[in-house]
Structure 1
Amino acid sequence: MARKSKAIDPVRVARKLEIARKLNWVCYGGLLLLFAVWNLFIGGSIKWWLLQTVPLLLVLPGLLKQRQRSYLWLCFILLLYITAGIVDVMMPGRGWQHGVLTALSLILFVSAMMTSRWQVQLHNANT
């Protein structure tokens, strides 16, 4: 028996997509700000700041053009940040930065993944 495909409401998907895009930019900017404050003002180094920010900046041109593949690549890049953040959160004596890093990375991962999905749904609904 074949599955029935549900009809997609383009207005609803567009609304969810807009919210997800805003959440992406808030969390993306939050991560960049966290790395800047953490490494340049609290006690890190420029070397660590570059190591943490360059991978995120690689996908920035595609994110500005709202390309689906850039959101997917961002998800793959964020897996590294999520893993590092969770490991650091579980270690005793770590600062608040690791918890914020984990939370921002997880929220950005989910919102980027859903943004990519909703972009495809909206494109398919409009064609």
Structure 2
Amino acid sequence: MSATIARKLAFARRLNWACYAGLLLLFAIWNLFLEGGSLVLWLLQTVPLLLVLPGMLKQRYRSYLWLCFILLIYICASIVDVMMPARGWQDGVLLVLSLTLFFSAMMASRWQRML
């Protein structure tokens, strides 16, 4: 049982880091390289995600939980943006990355506490 949970936890952490890096990269491309972006908006989008980075590097389960709470804001905003007529590809990518990161962080937190 413990080996199965450890394997699931390792997969959730890898998925977590991939989606986390993907979100930061998306915000950088969206705001720094594409037309209509701004440095202030990039800071507003990335600073909340960076707040939990030290705890995630130390693999603290509470940091994963806080990341889930922070991601709820991104998920709500991206759902609204996806439903707009003038949506772009970034809105769909943001929704998929946010949801995947939310579920992987939630499960990583749960499995980490079980070990």
What TM-score do you get using the length of structure 2 for normalisation?
Answer: 0.98
Q: Give the secondary-structure state (helix, strand or coil) at the position aligned to 2:86.
A: coil
> Which runs of 5 or more structure 1 residues have no equivalent in the other structure?
1-8, 123-127
What TM-score do you get using the length of structure 1 for normalisation?
Answer: 0.89
Give percent identity, aligned residues only: 74
Instruction: Name the structure 1 match of 2:34.
Output: 42
Instruction: Name the structure 1 match of 2:8.
Output: 16
Q: Give the secondary-structure state (helix, strand or coil) at the position aligned to 1:91.
A: coil
**Residue identity matched to 2:63:** S
Q: Which has the larger radius of gyration?
A: 1
Counterpart CA distance in 1 for 2:56 and 2:113 is: 15
Instruction: Name the structure 2 match of 1:102.
Output: 95
> Which runs of 5 or more structure 2 residues have no equivalent in the other structure?
none
Counterpart CA distance in 2 for 1:67 and 1:15 is: 17
Superposed CA deviations along residues 49-75 of structure 1, whole A, max 9, x for unmatched, are 000000000000000000010000000
RMSD over aligned Cα, in angstroms?
0.4
Structure 1 position 26 matched with structure 2 position 15: no
Counterpart CA distance in 2 for 1:37 and 1:95 is: 13
